[in-house]
Chain A
Amino acid sequence: MTHSSPRFPAPSQAKTSQHILRPRKMARIPATVGMLAALAILTLAVTLLSPAFGMGEMSTSFVKTLGKTLCLCLAALAMDIVWGYTGILSLGHMAFFAIGGYMIGQWLMYARTQEIVVQALASGPIPATADEVAQGVATQIFGVVGGSDMPMIWGFAHSLPLQLVLVVAVPGILALIFGWLAFRSRVTGVYLSILTQAMTLALSLYLFQNDSGLRGNNGLSGLQNLPALGDVSQDLVSIWFFWASALALGLVYLGLSWGISGKFGSVLRAIRDDEARVRFLGYPVEVYKLFVFTLTAVICGLAGVLYYPQAGIINPAELAPIASIYLAVWVAIGGRGRLYGAVIGAAFVSLLSSWFTGGRAPSVNLGVYTIDWVDWWQVLLGLSFVAVTLLAPKGIGGLFDRLTGQRPPNRKGAPLGPNEGALQEQEAVE
């Protein structure tokens, strides 16, 4: 037996520089600070331009559009964690977003309708009983679908705190059950994507039914009116929700960038790049995936809670599979695997989209044919999405790398491999 010790070159430095070993202290801070600062400046600017507190240069509806955009950015953050970092291309996260909206919508609609019914009944000679009020509310809400009874699932709708618990619990538990089923049977890659898409489709078809208890395709409406506030103006409501959305986005951004900066983020990226290897390192991959899937579902639910009161209406079309795919599109265009990319992508594409489809974009006259962007925006979006996937897999975020002089690791001509977010080759064969 030879007992020669390994002959490796001696380390050139006696001491290892600390920053190498402590990734949490590494250079993620500028991006986080920059993003939070930008958010703060935006909030200040919107406040100063808003009709409620400022010069009124900005219309209430535009304040709402911006507020909604921040909520979409929040959902995109969640999508980036689950897809960009963990490699699970979920095509169902907008369903969780919409479920959050439905949950808060139940309370908003119930409480608001109750106010109206109480007011209407108060004009009678005899004061109303609780039963009469409840019956009146049920008839008001469910008259459109031919019902006059409150379904069971509205049992908590009278209470804001209980309904807020549901906002977290329903998307969370749904994601937990679905994720547990999917991950434990090792469904990965495109299969998982298709399965999440099927889940979304099932949910939306279910909600389209009139007897789903959530008013079928009418959805919940009048959500912009906050109960118990009397006739507070929408100018004020819009800026409140903008602040709340900005605060939520800022806090979640901070929390997530802390979470992924350390070993947790390292494990997630490792799962994305080579799940089997992580398993052989002893990490319970399924638990991590489930944790991330559920956490991001809850974040999406919260984003929906802030979004739908600004939108005013929610219906089952909101959780059609296409919505979740758009979420992936935003993250991809912004640049996945970096949090600011998701925010930028969601903000950029959704604002551009509302500009184009809102009919404000000037038509292009080609002589023989006039391109009306309301009709052609989707075509442009679809094609530019293909272009981004093919030509700029890093999305808009890749531009920042160019600007800051960061270069991708030299892969010696190897294909853009796992670190671009794709999973293993085998998933194609599996």
Chain B
Amino acid sequence: MSALLEVSGVSVSFDGFKAITDLSFSIGPTELRAIIGPNGAGKTTFMDIVTGKTKPNSGTVLWGEKGQSLLAMSEAAIARAGIGRKFQRPTVFEDQTVAENLILALKSKRGPFAALGFKLSKAGQGRVADLAAQVGLHDHLSRKAGELSHGQKQWLEIAMLLAQEPRLLLVDEPAAGMTLAEREQTTALLVDIARTRAVVVVEHDMEFVRRLGCRVTVLHEGSVLAEGSLDHVTKNPDVIDVYLGRG
């Protein structure tokens, strides 16, 4: 299987504290993957490395068919290359309308001159409407994003991610703070998305992961502890040790 993202032997430390040690990870072009692990396992740092926010001390991060290295690229360039990221806390532009948020995210040329001359095409209008409909925000297009509920903001952010048309989505705890019904909708949405692109979900919540029904990577102290189906990894004695044996 040719991987879309190939992370190998990555280490990073902050002031002597090793956040990631010799981590290797790969994901195919249309795959849903969950990453679980206790606090401080390095989940967020892993996403920081892939999206260019943190530069690792060693290791390689290769992207796409051509095996392009992501390490020399800026965050914006990585995003343009097709990696979208959703933060744990919903981060939408609260002062702008839902429509404006979506138009911002819509795949287009990103330079300032392109933005000055930007005019939303018919196709673009349709795409915004479709995306809004997909996450149930169609009726809220003209509202300011700041007025939305917490769950709606999460979905708006997911819609914005989709508007970027990324090939890989990194989703950090999408279900945090959601009601049960909202969780189910989110699960369905993620599974749906993963049919056409790669999705990495970082999550604490085992129930949520179980519902995703996908391959799971367990991180512990900055490296991969186990990988496989959820049932497989939960039988792994090391994983049991980490999750339960501490006390």
Chain A residues within CB distance 8 Å of chain B:
1-13, 16-18, 20-24, 259, 262-264, 266-267, 269-270, 273-274, 276-285, 287-288, 291, 409-411, 417-419
Contact = CB atoms under 8 A, between A and B. Distances in A.
Interface residues of B, number: 58
A309 to B, nearest CB: 31
Interface in B163-196: 164, 184-185, 187-189, 191-192
B112 A287 contact: yes
Contacts of A5: 188, 192
A11 B133 contact: yes
Closest CB pairs A-B (n = 4): A8-B136, A419-B95, A282-B79, A11-B138
B110 A20 contact: no
Given A262-B119, A288-B115, 10 more contacts: A2-B188, A6-B134, A21-B120, A21-B124, A267-B112, A270-B104, A280-B85, A287-B112, A291-B112, A409-B146
Contact of B103 (A8, A10, A263, A285): A263
B211 interface: yes
Given A1-B213, A282-B164, A266 B103 contact: yes
A1 B141 CA distance: 32
Given A9-B136, A23-B100, A266-B100, A284 B93 contact: no
A279 B94 contact: no
B75 A279 contact: yes
Contacts of B160: 281
Given A259-B116, A264-B116, A266-B100, A419 B94 contact: yes
B80, B84, B138, B160, most chain A CB atoms within 10 A: B138
A21, A278, A418, most chain B CB atoms within 10 A: A21
Given A4-B188, A8-B185, A287-B112, A263 B118 contact: yes
B111 A284 contact: yes
Contacts of A283: 76, 110
15 contacts: A2-B211, A5-B192, A6-B135, A6-B185, A7-B185, A11-B133, A21-B124, A21-B125, A263-B120, A266-B103, A266-B104, A281-B164, A285-B76, A288-B115, A418-B94
Contact of A21 (B110, B112, B141): B141
Contacts of A16: 125, 128-129, 132, 138, 141
Q: For the complex, would chain B's binding face be called helix, strand, loop or mixed by DSSP majority?
A: helix
Contacts of B139: 11-13
A297 to B, nearest CB: 15
B104 A20 contact: no
A184 B147 CA distance: 34
Contacts of A284: 74, 76-77, 110-111
Contacts of B57: none
Contact of B75 (A24, A262, A280): A280
B30 interface: no
Contact of B79 (A17, A18, A279): A279
Contacts of B115: 262-264, 267, 288
Contacts of B129: 16, 21
Contacts of B53: 276
A9 B136 CA distance: 6
Interface in B93-131: 93-97, 99-100, 103-105, 110-112, 115-116, 118-120, 124-125, 128-129
A262 B96 CA distance: 12
A20 B91 CA distance: 21
Contact of A269 (B51, B76, B93): B93
Contacts of A279: 74-76, 79
A21 B103 contact: yes
A2 B191 contact: yes
A20 B99 contact: yes
A17 B77 CA distance: 34
Contacts of A17: 142
B118 A262 contact: yes
Given A263-B118, A269-B96, A284-B110, A410 B138 contact: no
Given A262-B116, A264-B116, A277-B91, A282 B185 contact: no
A20 B139 CA distance: 11
A364 B196 CA distance: 75
A280 B136 CA distance: 24
Given A263-B118, A281-B160, A409-B146, A274 B76 contact: no
Contacts of B128: 16, 21
A80 to B, nearest CB: 15
Given A2-B191, A280-B75, A281-B160, A23 B99 contact: yes
B125 A7 contact: no
B144 interface: yes
A284 B76 CA distance: 6
A273 B100 CA distance: 14
A281 to B, nearest CB: 6
Given A7-B185, A8-B185, A263-B118, A281 B105 contact: yes
B188 A273 contact: no
Contacts of A410: 147
Contacts of A276: 53, 75
Given A16-B129, A264-B116, A6 B93 contact: no
A90 B99 CA distance: 30
